[in-house]
Amino acid sequence: DVKVTQSSRYLVKRTGEKVFLECVQDMDHENMFWYRQDPGLGLRLIYFSYDVKMKEKGDIPEGYSVSREKKERFSLILESASTNQTSMYLCASSSGLMAGGNSPLHFGNGTRLTVT
Amino acid sequence: GENVGLHLPTLSVQEGDNSIINCAYSNSASDYFIWYKQESGKGPQFIIDIRSNMDKRQGQRVTVLLNKTVKHLSLQIAATQPGDSAVYFCAENDSGAGSYQLTFGKGTKLSVIP
């Protein structure tokens, strides 16, 4: 089974802090994704990466950056955390050229971030 | 997440009955569809997928139906069990657009009454 591991289940940070969310997958997947999930808004794509050192903006990249130095690891960075970034953050990975074309996304269990 | 079920349409079903969860999608060019299940405190879990060249696909206790004419997708769960209680999301992808992305629906919360 594919395993996508997010390093923290819960995080509490202060406004203005730099925050790192880490994600590791163990299936040698090319594609990795960061989503946030909010009640009433569903899952929204922040950034994705289809190869090491490659990244693409999703629907809501503002206030975030990402890093993919190794194939198995994809980090989400909040440069200066704000209260409107309080959310559930979900990492996902998939194989193949396209997320939906060849394999479905496999998700981690999420990191619930609270910014105070 | 823990509160992902807030503000969602809810379907309540008696244990043992069949459940039907519906999803309307927006992009007529979408050619790949997935259903996910999300239990409280966990990430979405893949259930079943279907490509647009099919109108029905069956898995274990689940069936997905696709009606491209009206852009409608449904998930049928046979003999619903308490463990089926979760939020269910449909997702669509337009692979012809070279897209890596899935577009997710808002979800439906399924509550199974014992």
> By CA distance, what is B96's nearest residue in A?
A101
**pLDDT tens digits, residue range A26-68?**
989 989 999 999 988 889 999 999 889 899 999 899 999 999 9
CA distances from residue A89 to A20, A76, B109 in whole angstroms, order as listed: 11, 9, 20
pLDDT, residue B93, reads 86
**CB neighbours (10 Å) of residue A77?**
15
Residue of higher predicted confidence among B95 and A47: A47
**pLDDT tens digits, residue range A69-96?**
999 999 999 999 999 999 999 999 988 6
pLDDT, residue B99, reads 65
Using CB atoms within 10 A of its CB, is residue A9 exposed (0-12), middle (13-18) or buried (19+)? exposed
- Give CA torsion, residues A20, A18, B101, B77, to 10 deg: 60
pLDDT, residue A108, reads 95
Asked whether the predicted pLDDT for residue B69 surpasses 80, the reply is yes
| Distance of alpha carbon A31 from alpha carbon A92, whole angstroms | 8
The CA distance from B3 to the nearest CA of chain A, in Å, is 7
User: Domains of chain A (ranges plus CATH)?
Assistant: 4-115 (2.60.40.10)
Q: How confident is the model at residue A98 (pLDDT cuts 50, 70, 90)?
A: low
CATH entry 2.60.40.10 includes domain B10-113:
yes
Flag if B46 and A31 touch (Cβ within 8 Å). no
pLDDT, residue A97, reads 57
Asked whether the predicted pLDDT for residue B106 surpasses 50, the reply is yes
Flag if A42 and B89 touch (Cβ within 8 Å). yes
Share of chain B above pLDDT 90, in %: 70
Q: Domain residues of chain B, as ranges? A: 10-113
pLDDT, residue A46, reads 96
Asked whether the predicted pLDDT for residue A100 surpasses 60, the reply is no
- Which chain B residues are within 8 Å of A40, Cβ to Cβ? 6-7, 106
CA distances from residue A64 to A8, A33, B69 in whole angstroms, order as listed: 18, 13, 39
Asked whether the predicted pLDDT for residue B27 surpasses 70, the reply is yes
- Tell me if chain A has a CB within 8 Å of the CB of B41: yes
Mean pLDDT of chain B: 89
Flag if A99 and B102 touch (Cβ within 8 Å). yes
The CA distance from B1 to the nearest CA of chain A, in Å, is 6
